[in-house]
Amino acid sequence: MSEHSEFIPFTREVEYIKTKKEPCNDSIVQSVVSAFLERSRIGQIKYGTNLDRTDLTTLQWIQHAQEELMDGILYLEKLKQTFTP
């Protein structure tokens, strides 16, 4: 196994997306797509799986989503308090 074999699935995803050649001249959309791809790559390395996994129940998926959204609310509250005079 090569030193960077964990990057192979990510590399294939990026190449697939690049071949789609759908025009996007919106820098914000491009930035978000890049961030999603990077998050996917990191998640696959960290957890050894992706969102195609089938080992979670619907309720477990809901729980994961709730926890992620709660974290997001905490980050927003921190920023709001930081930038509120």
Residue numbers of the domain that contains 55: 10-82
Q: Note whether residue 1 is domain-resident.
A: no
b/e code 29-64 from CB counts within 10 Å (16+ = b)? eeeeeeeeeeebbeebeeeeeeeeeeeeeeeeeeee
Q: Note whether residue 3 is domain-resident.
A: no
Tell me which residue of 45, 37, 36, 60 sits closest to 5, measured CA to CA: 45
Q: Say how far apart CA 48 and CA 36 lie, in whole Å.
A: 17
> What is the tally of structural domains in the chain?
1
- Phi, psi dihedrals of residue 41, rounded to the nearest 5°: -60, -45
pLDDT tens-digit map of 52-62? 999 999 999 99
Q: Note whether residue 5 is domain-resident.
A: no
pLDDT tens-digit map of 71-82? 999 999 999 999
Q: Give the helix ranges, DSSP H, for the chain.
A: 8-20, 27-47, 58-83
pLDDT tens-digit map of 16-52? 666 666 778 888 988 999 999 999 999 999 999 999 9
